[in-house]
Amino acid sequence: MRIGIDIGGTHTDGILIDGTRLVAAAKIPTNHDHLLESISQVLHLILDGQDPAGVSVLNLSTTLTTNAIITGKTDPVGMLVAGGPGIALETYRIGDHFHQIPGSLDHLGTETAPLDVNQLESAIADCCALGVKRFAVAVKFSPRNPVHENLMRDQLGERADFVSTGHLISGQLNFGRRIHTAYYNSAVSRTFRSFTTALTASLSGFALQCEVNILKADGGTMPLVRAQEAPVQSIFSGPAASVMGILATTPASSDMLMLDIGGTTSDIALFASGQPLLEREGIAIDGHPTLVRAIHVESIGIGGDSLISMGANGVQTGPQRLGPCMATGGPAPTLMDALNVLGLAAFGEVQRSIEGMVILAASHGLSGVQLARDAVDTAVNAISTKIESLIAHVNSKPVYTIHEILEDREVTPEKIIVIGGPAAVFKELLQVRLGIEVVIPPFHGVANAIGAALTRSTSHLTLTADTTKGKLSVPMLGVFRSIPRGFNLDTAIEESKNLLQGDLAQAGISISADEIQITQADSFNMVEGSYTTGKNIRVVAQVQPAVVARLDASSAEVLISGRP
């Protein structure tokens, strides 16, 4: 059996799956001050009457790291960078403790100027004097040679509680993105480690002896122990769970849209020929581009609990949220209350929705029904405009799916798959507004948790080889070694697969070579004077995101426990 738990901004969902059959499902309000309490509650509900020994996998998607960044509850980070001449490092400045250290490598990884250890020590001392305990180090061209980053890390020693090292973050050469990625990885590390430590203790109380994974932004999972070293990968795991939930519950072979309507926000994703789109370079976090691979998802501040208010331009729905809808005891009318008033939903105590809407409407010379209608129209128009904008944006540039296949064509959605608690309510409203078929799939209320449960572990690596120098590097695995003169592209591909298999095996994940996809394999001659001196080889290998099974629709009638 497999467990999936999705900790959302409003609700925490949990499901238990046996093979392809949904056994149990639960939905409760998220307690943001005590996330473990929310996890424990859904586990109690879905494991009631079940044998925990039968559970082999527990996958979790969480808003923990995302919320820490959004709310500014991250730790200070000592950011130590070395770029060399011609690099305007101020362009990449991030955080309050950004220090530039003299020293440089060239594009082949050859040291052109030694790292200034005196200035390095001075920067470290300044950070420590201000109580900084978490650091990140990044050096231009470190994926070709980690010597300077390793020196920085070693110099920190026991003075640092956590260090993010740039070349282990990604094998890509984008220096600015690597700086930002390393910074955020350290900024959320303490919060994430505290959570995972408590989670492990909590799970032991349920007699669960299973594999525990965290969902990544790219739609795959990684073992909990590895997530502690790379917590930045868990950012935006919630939207990724939504997308994988579609793959697990809905036949997907055409261009289509996903709309996940939550309590606080709605997430929108595009599929090309049934495959979700990938942010190939990496997502931006708080406006800073990173190397965190992620499924392309855009959010809008419209959800069931979106506050209804009156502004200069009339009725406004969202993006504010003061709490749940009045139908479940909230303080002010929300979008869900408006749906209750119009008879489009019957959620919670409908009379409370009506009373709250009438009071707000009367203060602005409107009827409760008119205010509710305007609020719903505003929400539907906002979602529709966002969808139209996303389609236009995606079609203005090359399209990459999670298989990283370049599609030289426009994406034209034939239908919209709507999931989330209020999904059924919006079916006709969106169909009329957009003129596209709207489909409500089985399990739509807990699709995120299903996506989390059925997602497999993924990984990727970049291998580069310079046969002139006889050097091979796989930065993300910390592999830097010599190779023979006859090393070629075929050998590099085989080596990439072996290294990726071996790395996953160390994490307890068994895959076959057939499951590894080579997304890039290039070999270029190195020429000096009039002679070819060797080859420069680059291979990118990945285990792509996918679901391990598709749910049997006949189990869709399972009651959701804990729901109001």
Of residues 467 and 545, the one with the higher pLDDT is: 467
Residue 557 pLDDT > 70: no
Which residues have a Cβ under 8 Å from the Cβ of 427 and sit 6 or more positions away?
A: 418, 438, 440
Average pLDDT over residues 360-367: 92
What region does 508 belong to: left with phi over 0, alpha with psi -120 to 50, or beta? left
- For 154, residues 6+ apart whose C-beta sits below 8 A from its C-beta are none
CA 27 to chain CA centroid, nearest Å = 21
The pLDDT of residue 404 is: 65
Residue 564: per-residue pLDDT:
46
What CA–CA distance (Å, rounded) separates 362 from 354?
A: 12
Across 255-321, the runs of DSSP E, i.e. the strands, are 256-261, 266-272, 275-276, 278-279, 284-285, 288-289, 294-295, 297-300, 308-311, 314-317
pLDDT tens track for 80-95: 999 887 778 888 999 9
506-526 pLDDT tens trace: 877 888 888 888 888 999 887
pLDDT, tens digit (0-9, with 9 covering 90-100), for 299-345:
888 988 999 998 888 899 988 888 889 999 999 999 999 999 999 99
* CA 325-326-329 angle, 5° bins: 100
pTM summary value:
0.85
Query: Kind and range of the H or E element at 343?
Result: none
- For 91-105, 143-157, 325-339, 428-442, which range has the lowest pLDDT when averaged over its residues? 428-442
Locus of tokens 């000096």: 528
Query: Mean of the pLDDT values across residues 488-495?
Result: 94
pLDDT level of residue 405 (50, 70, 90 thresholds): low
State yes or no: pLDDT of 540 exceeds 90.
no
Please state the φ and ψ torsions of residue 121, each to the nearest 5 degrees.
Answer: -65, -40
157 band by pLDDT with thresholds 50, 70 and 90: very high
Average pLDDT over residues 357-361: 94
Cα separations in angstroms, 408 against 272, 322, 521:
11, 44, 20
Q: Tell the burial category of 311 from Cβ atoms under 10 Å away from its Cβ (0-12, 13-18, 19+).
A: exposed
3-class secondary-structure state, position 447: helix
According to DSSP, residue 112 is labeled E
Q: What is the mean pLDDT of the chain?
A: 89
Supply the pLDDT for residue 499. 93
CB atoms within 10 A of CB 479: 14
Buried b (16+ CB within 10 A) or exposed e, 511-540: beeebbbebebeeeeeeeeeeeebbbbbbb
pLDDT exceeds cutoff 90 at 153: yes
**pLDDT tens digits, one per residue of 230-256:** 999 988 888 899 999 999 988 778 899
Query: What sign has the CA pseudo-torsion 398, 404, 405, 410?
Result: negative
For tokens 């079940």, what's the residue?
Answer: 50
Average pLDDT over every residue of 371-388: 93
Name the residue with higher pLDDT: 365 or 281.
Answer: 365
Of the listed ranges 157-161, 402-406, 426-430, 442-446, the least confidently predicted one is 402-406
**What pLDDT digit, counting tens, does each position of 101-140 carry?**
999 998 888 899 999 999 999 999 999 999 999 999 999 9
| pLDDT of amino acid 563 | 55
Q: What is the mean pLDDT of the segment spanning 379-405?
A: 85
In this predicted structure, what is the pLDDT of residue 311? 82
Strand partners, 323: none
At 379, the pLDDT band (50, 70, 90 cuts) reads very high
Task: Calculate the alpha carbon distances from 93 to 79, 150, 287, 439 in Å.
Answer: 9, 21, 12, 45
121: its two tokens: 């020590």
Cα atoms in the Cβ-side hemisphere of radius 13 Å centred on 538: 11
Average pLDDT over residues 181-207: 89
Q: Which helix (H) or strand (E) holds 164?
A: strand 162-165
Q: Does the structure show a pLDDT above 60 at 217?
A: yes
Q: Could you give the maximum distance between any two Cα atoms of the chain, in Å?
A: 85
pLDDT > 90: percent of the chain: 49
